């Protein structure tokens, strides 16, 4: 192994591409199903684990959304968030920006307030334990633009509880421009903006260009397809746009982890970072993603440190917090 487990786990890092709903581990899913009297079709942790099977984004989402039925009350959302932060701490995460999908819950009759308040309790608890944390509200791009707009309007009374908005779910036939009005309203309300530009989609390059030039996205979630277009690489590098890459997830929904692309972009000075996406489903939290990438591509400690440095620099923490986190990162690197 090129980088030790201890190095990958302990180096201070930010996690910027993490779906809270994607942290639903089989044991918690089963426990919440039993508590809420919901038949999920499995009765043991092993059976739930065995049901977490997919080979594409579409087949993943077909398992992912039905699983959320076990989340019913505010405490369930809190428990899910709190379980993630316990793992994040073990993984050396000093800053977490966590996606959540309100429409996946409001569409089954859960109030948006229940979702936001539950997750926010976990955020406040993480902060009290020394992890800088915020929520990012995502719109489901395979639902209508009107639904996204209504979701944002319903969430605005709670806008102090989330730092920005994102766009996720199935990208096919759902380009970013569909949500231009919604993202403009988010910006008018002082919210930060990011969006998924998933791997190897039909029209990936066009969607990335639109996200950057028309929707003013500040980061690209995934986004490694920019390697196909040198002008886009240059635009992203010059603007300091961050990419939130997820190697283990990539290896599930495409045919490889896109490690070559991540390393090429890192070498060109693009602010790529490594994250875990939906770790309960893909089997790896953020440090495991760094280790998997290091092993596959033969990365050294300096490259892992650069990935961690990028993650903090492209985060939406305050300048003061970033300076503190970067100082502790440099101290860690100097002592290794
Ligand atoms: N929702 C959860 N994970 C996702 C991903 N990797 N891409 C799109 N939507 C998602
Ligand atoms: Zn994602």
- The ligand 1 atom at the shortest distance from the C-alpha of residue 101 is 1
From ligand 2's centre to the CA of 118, what distance in Å?
Answer: 21
Instruction: Say which DSSP state 274 is in.
Output: E
Q: Which two tokens stand for residue 336?
A: 């290794």
Q: What is the pLDDT of residue 50?
A: 95
Confidence of residue 230 (pLDDT cuts 50, 70, 90): very high
Q: Is the CB of 192 under 6 A from ligand 1?
A: no
- Cut 0.75: pTM above it: yes
> If we measure between CA atoms, which residue out of 210, 225, 151 comes closest to residue 178?
210
pLDDT of 41 over the 70 cut: yes
Q: What is the mean pLDDT of residues 119-146?
A: 98
Over pLDDT 70: what percentage of the chain?
A: 100
Q: What stretches of the chain show up as alpha helix (H) in DSSP?
A: 5-10, 26-36, 45-51, 57-67, 74-90, 103-106, 112-128, 145-155, 180-188, 204-213, 230-239, 247-253, 259-267, 279-282, 286-297, 301-313, 319-334
Over pLDDT 90: what percentage of the chain?
A: 97
> If we measure between CA atoms, which residue out of 282, 302, 333 comes closest to residue 59?
282
pLDDT of 145 over the 90 cut: yes
From ligand 2's centre to the CA of 38, what distance in Å?
Answer: 26
Q: How far apart are CA 88 and CA 69, in angstroms?
A: 24
Q: What is the pLDDT of residue 255?
A: 86
Task: List the residue whose alpha carbon is closest to atom 8 of ligand 1.
Answer: 169
CATH superfamily membership of 5-335: Metal-dependent hydrolases (3.20.20.140)
């Amino acid at each position: 192994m090129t980088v030790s487990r201890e190095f990958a786990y302990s180096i201070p890092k930010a996690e910027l591409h993490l779906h809270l709903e994607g942290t639903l581990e089989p044991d918690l899913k089963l426990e919440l199903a039993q508590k809420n009297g919901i038949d999920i079709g499995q009765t043991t942790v092993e059976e739930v684990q065995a049901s977490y099977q997919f080979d594409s984004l579409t087949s993943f989402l077909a398992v992912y959304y039905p699983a959320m039925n076990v989340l019913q009350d505010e405490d369930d959302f809190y428990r899910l968030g709190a379980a993630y932060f316990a793992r994040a701490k073990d993984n050396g995460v000093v800053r977490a920006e966590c996606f959540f999908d309100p429409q996946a819950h409001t569409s089954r009759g859960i109030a948006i307030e229940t979702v936001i308040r539950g997750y926010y309790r976990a955020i406040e608890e993480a902060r009290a334990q020394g992890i800088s944390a915020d929520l990012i509200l995502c719109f489901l791009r395979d639902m209508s633009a009107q639904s996204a707009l209504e979701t944002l309007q319903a969430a605005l009374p709670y806008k102090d509880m989330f730092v920005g908005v994102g766009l996720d779910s199935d990208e096919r036939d759902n380009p970013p421009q569909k949500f231009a009005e919604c993202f403009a309203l988010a910006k008018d309300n002082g919210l930060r903006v990011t969006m998924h530009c998933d791997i190897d989609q039909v029209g990936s390059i066009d969607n990335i260009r639109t996200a950057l030039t028309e929707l003013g996205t500040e980061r690209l979630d995934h986004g490694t397809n920019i390697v196909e277009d040198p002008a886009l690489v240059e635009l992203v590098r010059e603007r300091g746009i961050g990419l939130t890459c997820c190697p283990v997830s990539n290896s599930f929904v495409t045919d490889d982890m896109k490690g070559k692309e991540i390393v090429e972009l890192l070498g060109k000075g693009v602010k790529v970072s490594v994250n875990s996406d939906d770790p309960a489903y893909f089997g790896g939290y953020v440090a495991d993603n760094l280790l998997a990438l290091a092993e596959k591509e033969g990365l050294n400690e300096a490259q892992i440190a650069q990935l961690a440095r990028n993650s903090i620099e492209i985060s939406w923490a305050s300048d003061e917090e970033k300076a503190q986190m970067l100082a502790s990162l440099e101290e860690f690197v100097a002592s290794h």
